[in-house]
Amino acid sequence: MADAQNIPAGSTTAGSIAVAAESTVATRMSAPPSFDVADFPVPHGREEEWRFTPLARLRGLHDGTAVATGEGVRVEIEAPEGVTVETVGRDDERLRKAGKPVDRVAAQAYSSFEKASVVTVAKEAVLSEPIRVAVHGQGGVAFGHQVIELGAFAEAVVVIDHTGDAVLAANVDFVLGDGAKLTVVSVQDWDKDAVHVAQHNALLGRDASFKSVVVTFGGDVVRLHPRVSYSAPGGSAELFGLYFTDAGQHQEHRLLVDHNTPHCTSNVAYKGALQGQDAHAVWIGDVLIQAAAEGTDTYELNRNLVLTDGARVDSVPNLEIETGEIAGAGHASATGRFDDEQLFYLMARGIPETEARRLVVRGFFAELVQQIGLPDVEERLIAKVEAELEASV
Amino acid sequence: MATLEIHDLHVSVEAENGPREILKGVDLTIKQGETHAVMGPNGSGKSTLAYSLAGHPKYTVTGGTVTLDGEDVLEMSVDERARAGVFLAMQYPVEVPGVSVSNFLRTSATAIRGEAPKLRTWVKEVKEAMEKLSMDPAFAERNVNEGFSGGEKKRHEILQLELLKPKIAILDETDSGLDVDALRIVSEGVNRVRETGEVGTLLITHYTRILRYIKPDFVHVFANGRIVESGGAELADQLENEGYDKYVKGGASA
């Protein structure tokens, strides 16, 4: 099962499918989930969940040497009517609802934050404006915790923007009541030295719909761990991701969809482009269909486009199925190169070089961007992708 | 009338032990409406000629001239050559991930024509061209050359030829790897373009088989980096019977 591979840029992996008697997705982690950092040994880098991550560049988030500084990050929340925004202490029970930390850094974040933000959308409130969360790094070290909770049948869009420079470890929880609909856009547009490690826990109530859009452009190291589980049948999760990894950057997205409840669906699609020496993207897509989760329908996809030499992709989809009574399950992963021969081909058809590159990258991301369904976010992404390309040509 | 003039063209490639000369003085003039077949054994430099004319960066021109209606082609970048009217149908067209055939064709037509084709007439134009080449309409939504069979790749090349209407079409071993049916369909496409009288065709091939479908006005034998003999269509028949032996073993001085 643990056939996660090192895949050099340009190669393709079909991933693996296993039918397991018990969850190896869970046991592949070096320690069981816990809120207490002391329950996790300091990683040395050979553990399954850390083997792709450059620990030396985490600035001490993984070994306890990173200490919060006063003004590490500034968090500003702008919310329309119908939304309650609270700053709460560690003892608030809502902070423990969506899921436990699964690795040492998430547990460190949980053990170290002082104040958390809880954003609550009242039941049946349908927001006409997005909730905007601005997380701005001010050069320090910070541990964060945010909870966004929707009451039954509430509908909301949340845009979380990460900018500036920081060393940040955080847990972000999304709790969806029955029939609630939540779209979360998390943009990692950090300055070049930022380090950002976060676990996102989504817990879906009966018939709830959760859409996550993760967009990573900046930072030195960004390692995100979006996780979804279901508290009742009928939930549906769509997890979209887009990353553009430049020279020297490490961008890692590790997803887990835990189908623990019958008749839920999930659809994962992450796409990344890489350019420059030592650009490194990691995508881990774990989907677990537990024995109880009959009627599950799931698909996960990862595509990478390598634009230059020197970049590296590790893409590891994993699907574990413990019941045969499902509607569908599949996954795909592929990494392709854009090289001089492709450029020659397009130019030999009259297309100028810069336009040729733009054509390829836009085309690559277009299908994914169109699925986001938020026109201003879509436009911003396209503009950002264009800016990345401008910088490279 | 468009004329491509190749004069004393010398081309080399970087090899392990320094540059290696592949083309050793090629002279050839192709006029609009004419079809020239360039035939030769493997390794004679035929494909190098094709790619050099299109401007592939792997090949370095060390001497000679190439002009299209007096304009210096060698000074032009790859895309400028295409916009000037030079088209290369490639032997091994590459996959372009993320770009659909329809998007690619339209971007290319826009670049070549200098303005975006009107959407309504364009869709019809592409559809008709695809039908003539017996291509499934679903083809347009696939990524360029991704997962195409050999025959699909060649049809896609000829589809571009029909849509882009170049002045000079260079067909690099378009016949290779095709079964008889595909060869017929592809050849018919080439012939439709030739029949307009608007294109000069340089047909590069190893085999005489394609010349049963596409009748050349001139046949040139290519060996050791240059044209060693030229004649009419009858020269192809001679090659069919005698092969390339006399050009390879007898030396290239003929």
For the segment A341-363, what is each residue's pLDDT rounded down to a tens digit? 999 999 999 999 989 988 888 88
DSSP state of B60: E
Q: A167 with A258, same domain?
A: yes
A340 closest CB neighbour out of B57, B99, B100? B57
Question: Do A288 and A380 share a domain, yes or no?
Answer: no
Angle at A382 between CA A377 and CA A383, to 5 degrees: 95
Task: Examine the domain organization and report whether A176 and A303 are in the same domain.
Answer: yes
Q: What is the pLDDT of residues A202-231, one digit of tens each?
A: 999 999 999 999 999 999 999 999 999 999
Residues A59 and A107 in one domain: yes
Match 């030999």 to its residue by tokens: A348
Name the H helices within chain A.
24-27, 104-112, 340-347, 353-370, 375-392
Instruction: Report chain B's C-alpha Rg in angstroms.
Output: 18
pLDDT for res A234: 97
Go through B242-252 and write b for each residue having 16 or more CB atoms within 10 A of its CB, e for each that does not. eebebbbeeeb
The pLDDT score that the predictor gives to residue A24 is 52
Whether the Cβ atoms of residue B46 and residue B204 lie closer than 8 Å to each other = yes
| A197 and A172 inside one domain | yes
Best residue of A12, A307, A349, A385 to probe chain B, by most B CBs closer than 10 Å: A349
Is residue B80 one of the residues assigned to a domain? Answer: yes
Tokens 């549906």: give the residue: A236
Q: Does a structural domain hold residue A269?
A: yes
Which letter does DSSP use for residue B74 in this model?
Answer: G
Q: Which residues of B touch A (CB under 8 A)?
A: 54-57, 77-79, 81-83, 87-88, 90, 93-100, 103-104, 107-108, 111-112, 143-144, 160, 164
Other C-beta atoms closer than 10 Å to the C-beta of A26 total 15
Residues A143, A105 share a domain: yes
| Residue B146 scores a pLDDT above 60 | yes
Q: Say yes or no to pLDDT of B98 above 80.
A: no
* E strand segments, B43-158: 59-68, 71-72, 86-89
Question: Domain holding B242: CATH number?
Answer: 3.40.50.300
Mean pLDDT by 10 residues, chain A (393 residues): 35 37 58 94 94 97 94 93 96 95 97 96 96 96 97 97 97 98 97 97 98 96 97 97 96 97 97 95 96 96 92 95 94 88 96 89 85 86 85 63
In chain B, residues with a C-beta closer than 8 Å to the C-beta of A350 are 79, 82-83, 108, 111-112, 164
> Residue B71's beta-bridge partner residues?
B68
Structural tokens at position A292? 């109880």
Residues A211 and A229 in one domain: yes
Is A350 found in the same domain as A316?
no
Q: What is the mean pLDDT of residues B226-231?
A: 96
- The answer to whether A133 faces chain B, any CB pair under 8 Å, is no
Nearest-by-Cβ selection for B98 from A351, A355, A360? A360
3-state secondary structure of B200: strand
> Which pLDDT score is estimated for A10?
35
Instruction: Assign A168 to helix, strand or coil.
Output: strand
Mean pLDDT of chain B: 94
User: Does position B99 have pLDDT exceeding 50, yes or no?
Assistant: yes
Distance CA B180, CA B245 (A): 26
Q: For residue B131, tell me if it sits in a domain.
A: no
Last residue of one domain, picked from the residues A337, A362, A382:
A337
The residue range of the domain holding A364 is 338-393
**Nearest beta carbon to residue B79 from set A340, A341, A347:** A347
* Residue B174 within a domain: yes
Domains of chain B: total: 1
A11 within domain boundaries: no
Full domain range(s) for residue B201: 3-96+166-248
Q: Residues of A with CB below 8 A from B116's CB? A: none
Is residue A7 included in any domain, yes or no?
A: no
Query: Between B119-132 and B180-195, two packed helices, what is the crossing angle to 10 degrees?
Result: 130
Q: Which residues contact A48 (CB under 8 A, 6 or more apart)?
A: A2, A4, A28, A29, A30
d(CA B207, CA B236): 9
Cβ–Cβ contact A359 with B under 8 A: yes
pTM of the predicted model over 0.80: no
Query: Is B82 a residue whose pLDDT tops 60?
Result: yes
| Distance, CA of A55 to CA of B134 (rounded, Å) | 56
List the beta strands (DSSP E) in chain A. 16-18, 73-78, 83-88, 116-121, 131-150, 155-176, 181-188, 195-204, 209-216, 221-230, 236-245, 250-259, 265-274, 280-289, 297-306, 312-321, 328-337
Given A321, A337, A353, which residue is the final one in a domain?
Answer: A337
Quick one: pLDDT at residue A16? 39
> Is the ipTM here above 0.90?
yes
Q: Which residues in chain A are contacts of B98 at CB distance < 8 A?
A: 305, 336, 360-365
Tell me how far CA of residue B211 lies from CA of B39, B192, B227, in angstroms: 11, 15, 18
